[in-house]
Amino acid sequence: MTTTERTPVAAPATSAPHQPAGGVNTHCPYCALQCGMTVTGKQVAPREFPTNRGGLCQKGWTSGALLDSAARLTTPLMRTGGQLRPASWDTALDHVAAKITGIQREYGPDGVAVFGGGGLTNEKAYLLGKFARVALRTSQVDYNGRFCMSSAAAAGMRAFGLDRGLPFPVTDLDEADAVLLVGANPAETMPPFMRHLDPSGLIVIDPRRTATAEQASLHLQPAPGTDLALALGILHSVVADGFLDQSYVDERTAGFEDVWRIVARWWPEHVERVTGVSAAEQRRAGAMLATARNAYLLTGRGTEQHATGADTVTAWINLALALGLPGRRGSGFGCITGQGNGQGGREHGQKADQLPGYRKIDDPAAREHVAGVWGVHPADLPGPGRSAYELLDALGEQAGPRGLLVFGSNVVVSAPHSAHVTDRLDALDMLVVADIVLSETAQRADVVLPITQWAEEEGTLTNLEGRILHRRRALAPPDGVRTDLEVLHALAGLLGQPPERFPSDPETVFAELGAASAGGPADYSGVNYPRLRAGEALHWPVPAGSDGTPRMFLDRFAHPDGRARFVPVEHVGPAESPDDDYPLRATTGRVLAHYQSGAQTRLVSELMRAVPESFVEVHPDTAARAGLCDGARATVASRRGTVCVTVRCVPSMRPDVLFLPFHFPGEQSANLLTNPALDPTSRMPEFKVCAARLEAA
Ligand code: SF4
Which pLDDT tens digit goes with each residue over 492-519? 999 999 999 999 999 999 999 999 999 9
Alpha helices in 297-355 (DSSP H): 301-304, 309-322
Which residue is closest in CA terms to ligand 1's atom 4? 57
Mean pLDDT across the stretch 105-116? 98
Ligand 1 mutation target, pool 59, 339, 600, most atoms within 8 A of CB: 59
Best residue among 37, 47, 49, 52 to mutate for probing ligand 1's pocket (most ligand atoms within 8 Å of CB) is: 52
- Pocket of ligand 1 contains residue 34 by CB under 6 Å: yes
Best probe residue, ligand 1, of 190, 193, 196, 469 (max atoms within 8 Å of C-beta): 190
Backbone angles phi, psi at 298, to 5 degrees: -125, 140
Q: What confidence score (pLDDT) does residue 149 get?
A: 82
Q: Residue 262, class by beta-carbon neighbours within 10 Å (0-12 exposed, 13-18 middle, 19+ buried)?
A: middle
Show the domains of the chain with their CATH numbers: 89-147+342-452+481-504 (3.40.50.740), 150-336 (3.40.228.10), 584-696 (2.40.40.20)
> For residue 17, what are the contacts with CB-CB under 8 A and spacing of at least 6?
473, 474, 475, 476
Cis peptide before 530 (omega within 30 of 0): no
**pLDDT per residue as tens digits for the range 352-397:** 999 999 999 999 999 999 999 999 999 999 999 999 999 999 999 9
Residue 17's pLDDT is 56
Pairwise CA distance, residues 248 & 269, whole Å: 28
CB 577: neighbour CB atoms within 10 A? 12
Q: Is 32 in the pocket of ligand 1 (CB under 6 A)?
A: no
Nearest atom within ligand 1 for CA of residue 193? 7
CB 557 within 8 Å of CB 161: yes
Cβ–ligand 1 distance for 64 under 6 Å, the answer: no
User: Is residue 514 lining ligand 1, measured as CB closer than 6 Å?
Assistant: no
- Residue with CA nearest ligand 1 atom 1: 35
What's the pLDDT band for 19 if we cut at 50, 70, 90?
Answer: confident
Smallest CA separation from ligand 1 atom 6, residue: 60
Helix (H, G, I), strand (E, B) or coil at 3: coil
Ligand 1 contact, 497 CB (< 6 A): no
> What pTM was estimated for this model as a whole?
0.94
Beta bridge partners of 45: 38
Rounded to whole angstroms, the Cα distance separating 266 from 255 reads 18
Cβ of 413 closer than 6 Å to ligand 1, yes or no, is: no
Q: Check if 590 has its Cβ closer than 6 Å to any atom of ligand 1.
A: no
Contact 177, 295 (CB under 8 A): yes
190 in ligand 1 pocket by Cβ < 6 Å? yes
Closest ligand 1 atom to Cα of 595: 5
User: Rounded to the nearest whole angstrom, what is the distance from the C-alpha of residue 592 to the centroid of ligand 1?
Assistant: 10
Q: Three-class SS string for 373-411?
A: HHCCCHHHCCCCCCCHHHHHHHCCCCCCCCEEEEECCCH
Q: What is the pLDDT of residue 18?
A: 67
Q: What is the CA radius of gyration of the chain?
A: 24
204 close to ligand 1 (CB < 6 Angstrom)? no
CA dist 398 and 381 (Å) reads 24
One-letter amino acid at 319 equals: L
- pLDDT range class, residue 145, cuts 50, 70, 90: confident
Ligand 1 centre distance from Cα of residue 31 (Å): 5
The residue count for the chain: 697
**Residue 642 burial by CB count (10 A; 0-12/13-18/19+): exposed, middle or buried?**
middle
Cβ(433) to ligand 1 under 6 A? Answer: no
**Distance between CA atoms of 654 and 56, rounded to whole angstroms?**
31
Confirm or reject: Cβ of 464 under 6 Å from ligand 1.
no
- Spacing, Cα 540 to ligand 1 middle (Å): 22
For the residues 255-260, what does the mean pLDDT come to?
Answer: 98
- Report the amino acid identity of residue 261: R
Distance (Å, whole) CA 597 – CA 411? 8
Query: CA 28, CA 50: separation in Å to the nearest integer?
Result: 14
What percent of the chain clears pLDDT 90, i.e. is strictly above it?
Answer: 91
Tens digits of residue pLDDT in 235-252: 999 999 999 999 999 999
